[in-house]
Amino acid sequence: MKAIQLFAALLIGGAVTAATAAAPAAADSAKGEKIYKATCMACHGAGVLGAPKFGDKAAWGPRVAKGKPALYTNALNGFKMMPPRGGNPALKDDEVKAVVDYMIAKSN
């Protein structure tokens, strides 16, 4: 009986932990989407000046393979024709990273 109670407690605890972890991820995704629509969509929506199009797995694949730190660095500092922070200097580092995460998630 104690084993069943322990198992149930672990299941419930795990469910609470998973739900708690999912909430910040959802908030970051919403933040990323909002920033994408306000700042990044102008170029990444249409592939302006060679920007990888939003949702284009083939275009994003090689970039994602370089790892998130490389993508964060490019987004923060600019890369080729993309200005730093996508041209929005008011964006904080965590906001830039959130939009990069959002774009990666929608392009995998």
Q: pLDDT tens-digit profile of 32-83?
A: 999 999 999 999 999 999 999 999 999 999 999 999 999 999 999 999 999 9
For the domain covering 25-105, report its CATH number: 1.10.760.10
pLDDT at 28: 77
CB 57 within 8 A of CB 107: yes
- Structural domain spans, the chain: 25-105
Q: In 1-108, where does DSSP find H-type helix?
A: 2-35, 41-44, 57-65, 68-77, 93-105
pLDDT at 54: 96
Q: Which of the two residues, 45 and 8, has the higher pLDDT score?
A: 45
pLDDT at 18 over 60: no
Give the whole-angstrom CA distance, residue 24 versus residue 101. 13
